[in-house]
Structure 1
Amino acid sequence: MNSILSISQINFIRGGSDKYRFELNKLLSDNDYEIIPFSAQHPDNQASTWSRFFPQGVNFDDPSAADLLRYIYSRPAARAIDRLLQENRIDLAHLHIYYGQLTASILAPLKRRGIPIVQTLHEFKLVCPTYGLVTADGPCEACAGRHFWRAVQNRCNRGSLARSCLSAAESYVSRWFGARDKIDHFITVSDFQRRKLIDLGAPADRISTVHNFIDAELVQPNFEQGSYCLYFGRLEKSKGLWTLLRAAEQLPEVPLYIAGDGSEHEALKQHLSKPGMEHVHYVGFKQGDELSKLIRGSICTITVSECYETFGLALIESFAHGRPVVASRMGGMPEVVTEGEDGFLIEAGDHQALAEWMKWMSEHPSEAIEMGRKGRKKVIEQFSPQRHLAQIEAVYGKVL
């Protein structure tokens, strides 16, 4: 049995990358791998017998000077992983989003012991200090070529000079301590992400694409007519939230439900209090059975990001539930959606086209249901756990 050290900054589900990590760990565990988690301490962490090795986390609510230093380079994390490695045999380390809490300090102890390191890249942190290759004005690639100082120039971290300085400093220090060169192989979740990272300086010979997966057999689909359009995800400008609301303003006859949380939460609630928005319903953050029920009851789901989506997990979740999608032609999403078959693609920011497809979906329920059937068939055939496991094992085979 191979033992896999699964590394992430937290050991609970806060976003899509965390959900993927837990699902991958279960998939590997079900196929005779021993999974050993390593994360920073956090009150929301899932209980684990391995938590005795977890280092102290960074306090972002009221950070001290020591917290800021640990954000850039964490000696406690290096000591903690060193102790774990002294007491346990590890065959391979699989990293996810580890920066911010654990930092690149954990890489040297792994390399000293000759442990192969694989990292799934859920974003663009390798070339962008603020992860997303996006600014308030749209997609941005200014930091390519290790020009991380431009994140300070553009105040990329929430418009704050101090935060942006910290992000840029962390990127320089992480690169110095091996965030690029100490990783034996990178996994991207779409071909778009792979090409973009290579264009911006990532090592082409050490990157493979493995699309995300979903176990559709565990999802109860709905092939009946839905009654509303649905957006579920982060409430951020870069996710196309305001494009969606402009489209909804043109469609008072088409109910829209919005589920999620994020920085635009209060602005959204204020906007929905205006006259003419009574058909738009904000239902808060949903997950698990509550989210599944929402998806099953929808006509279609909407994912119209205006940033480079690395994949679009919401798309395959919708397909698994038998629901078609309307998505933007951004990032890796065109690799998931077959236009006219299981959904439609629009140009990012085109609220008029979005309104037209939302209206079409609501007026053509039979066609929408058939598109949902095709979407579910696609995820069963192309995004299954078995296919994903084989691709992950192929990557492991390159470094073991």
Structure 2
Amino acid sequence: MTPTVLNVSQNYFVRGGSDRYFFSLAELLEKRGHRVIPFAARHSENLETRWADHFPEAVNFTNPSLRDLSRFVHSRSAAAAMHRLLEAHRPEIAHLHIYYGQLSTAILGPLRRARVPVVQTLHEYRLVCPVSTLLSNDGKLCQACNGKDYWRAVAGRCNRGSFARSLLSATEAYFARLIGGVIDRIDRFITVSHFQRRKLAELGVPAEKMTTVHNFVDVSDIALNSRSGGYFLYFGRLERLKGIFTLIEAAAPLVDIPLLIVGDGEARVEAEQLVSARGLSHIRILGPKRGQELQDLIKGSLCCILPAQWYENCPMAILEAYAFCRPVLGTTIGGIPELIDDGVDGWLFPPGAVEALREKLVYMADDPERAAGMGLAGRRKIEERFSQDRHYEQIMAIYSKLL
């Protein structure tokens, strides 16, 4: 049996790793003969799809009206759009990703009434943290809400230091948990790291409802690359929690090897100003890159860096670097150590440790042949542990228990 899958996310374009997984899963399922129906919010950046007429209007986060704020908590338009879709096209199973924000828990009611089993891949910590990151306003690891006391996020102004934003986030979290059925109406949660599963269970998510399935990369069309590249590379969102300022400080004196920073986000302007003010001409912030352009940048790098300072789970950036035979320098936090074998296919260093990261960068620059060999070890890991075949088997094992 190849069930029709309703693939649900707030975005129908790539903004981060969870979006890339959303599209990769759809491609994998379609390759195996499944009919995949996407459901997301309308947006000017959306990719073309024949299903776009079924998408509800997006919430305006730039200049929100009272109606936008209301739909952030409970979107009747998303619920109505979901109801119409289910009436016209009956999927056997729904696979959700990051749907809150644009779609809200309002979509869970129509799915339950239509008796469609629901699986959700969890890419962060929204079930237990109103701002999804388990970080306080000052960027420190935080579990003050303890999975349920969301008012603490308001007291701490955890959403960008804003009382209003924090109040809205806490309100949405309370509504989702108490009324929206954010846990009860999901039949199975997929965590993307063992660390994430343990942390969510510690904070009150039923352990028996969670299964870990790491992300994957299709390497069938990616050639082996044993040649070393000529620059350090970061690609991902440009935010403080991603550790980009730690990276800039570590690379600042290493003027002989360029550092390319690829991506966009709230910290981009600040990072650009820092690089400019200090005359760090060997550090270039390139903005967002996608598709072949991003792939070529990964191929040409000496190594890729993930200096995260929050509980990352299964970053696609690590798996994508391995796919193109590039080693990875990553922090000892969250699920990152589950992906990097220290000294084999990359190096681990403590979050925020500028000197430790600089030491690893120098090591890579001084021994490019070793770096290339570590990249090949990463590629073997993808083929053995994070392949599309293995991932499909794991996903179908979960689906089959619910059908």
Instruction: Verify the 8 A CA contact 2:257 2:365 in the aligned structure 1.
Output: yes
Pairing 1:160–2:162 present = yes
Higher deviation after alignment, 88-97 or 183-192: 88-97
| 2:139 paired residue among 137, 140, 146 | 137
Pairing 1:265–2:261 present = no
- What amino acid does structure 2 have at the position aligned with 1:244? L
- What amino acid does structure 1 have at the position aligned with 2:229? G
Partner of 2:43: 42
**Structure 2: how far apart are the matches of 1:75 and 1:374?**
49
- What amino acid does structure 2 have at the position aligned with 1:396? Y
Q: For 1:261-320, what per-residue CA distance to the aligned partner results, in whole angstroms no more than 9, with x for missing partners?
A: 111111111111234522212222212111111111111111010000011211111111
- Structure 2: 5+ residue stretches without partners: none
Higher deviation after alignment, 69-78 or 268-277: 268-277
**Structure 1: how far apart are the matches of 2:231 and 2:248?**
14
The TM-score, its normalising length taken from structure 1, stands at 0.97
- What amino acid does structure 2 have at the position aligned with 1:165? L
- What amino acid does structure 2 have at the position aligned with 1:204? A
| 1:211 paired residue among 199, 207, 214 | 214
- Structure 1 stretches of 4+ moved >3 Å: none
Partner of 1:390: 393
- What amino acid does structure 2 have at the position aligned with 1:377? R
Q: For 1:7-55, what per-residue CA distance to the aligned partner results, in whole angstroms no more than 9, with x for missing partners?
A: 1112222221111111101110111111111112222222222222222
The TM-score, its normalising length taken from structure 2, stands at 0.96
**Structure 1: how far apart are the matches of 2:168 and 2:361?**
42
Partner of 2:259: 256
Instruction: Verify the 8 A CA contact 2:139 2:241 in the aligned structure 1.
Output: no
Partner of 1:334: 337
Higher deviation after alignment, 72-81 or 183-192: 72-81
Higher deviation after alignment, 137-146 or 112-121: 137-146
Q: For residues 270-289 of structure 1, what are the structure 2 equivalents within 5 Å?
A: 270-275=273-278, 277-289=280-292
Partner of 1:344: 347
Partner of 1:128: 129
Q: For 1:177-222, what per-residue CA distance to the aligned partner results, in whole angstroms no more than 9, with x for missing partners?
A: 1001110000011101111111111110010000000011222343
Count of matched residue pairs: 400
Partner of 1:323: 326
Q: For 1:230-274, what per-residue CA distance to the aligned partner results, in whole angstroms no more than 9, with x for missing partners?
A: 111111111111111111123233321111111111111111123
- What amino acid does structure 1 have at the position aligned with 2:85? L
**Structure 1: how far apart are the matches of 2:371 and 2:210?**
37
Higher deviation after alignment, 383-392 or 243-252: 243-252
Partner of 2:302: 299
Instruction: Verify the 8 A CA contact 1:249 1:276 in the aligned structure 2.
Output: no
Aligned-residue Cα RMSD (Å) equals 1.3
| 1:202 paired residue among 200, 205, 217 | 205
Change (3 A) 1:252 1:48: closer
| 1:308 paired residue among 306, 311, 314 | 311
Q: For 1:134-156, what per-residue CA distance to the aligned partner results, in whole angstroms no more than 9, with x for missing partners?
A: 12232111122311111111111
Partner of 1:169: 171
The 3-state SS of whatever aligns with 1:273 is helix
**Structure 1: how far apart are the matches of 2:278 and 2:74?**
50
Instruction: Verify the 8 A CA contact 1:77 1:106 in the aligned structure 2.
Output: yes
Partner of 1:92: 93
**Structure 2: how far apart are the matches of 1:390 and 1:3?**
16
Residue 86 of structure 1, CA deviation: 1.8
- What amino acid does structure 2 have at the position aligned with 1:58? V
Change (3 A) 1:279 1:49: closer
Partner of 2:54: 53
**Structure 1: how far apart are the matches of 2:264 and 2:224?**
25
- Once the two structures are aligned, what percentage of the paired residues are identical? 48
**Structure 2: how far apart are the matches of 1:226 and 1:303?**
17
Q: For residues 68-107 of structure 1, what are the structure 2 equivalents within 5 Å?
A: 68-107=69-108
Instruction: Verify the 8 A CA contact 2:127 2:147 in the aligned structure 1.
Output: no
The 3-state SS of whatever aligns with 2:126 is coil
Instruction: Verify the 8 A CA contact 2:242 2:309 in the aligned structure 1.
Output: yes
**Structure 2: how far apart are the matches of 1:184 and 1:8?**
17
**Structure 2: how far apart are the matches of 1:331 and 1:318?**
18
| 2:377 paired residue among 374, 383, 387 | 374
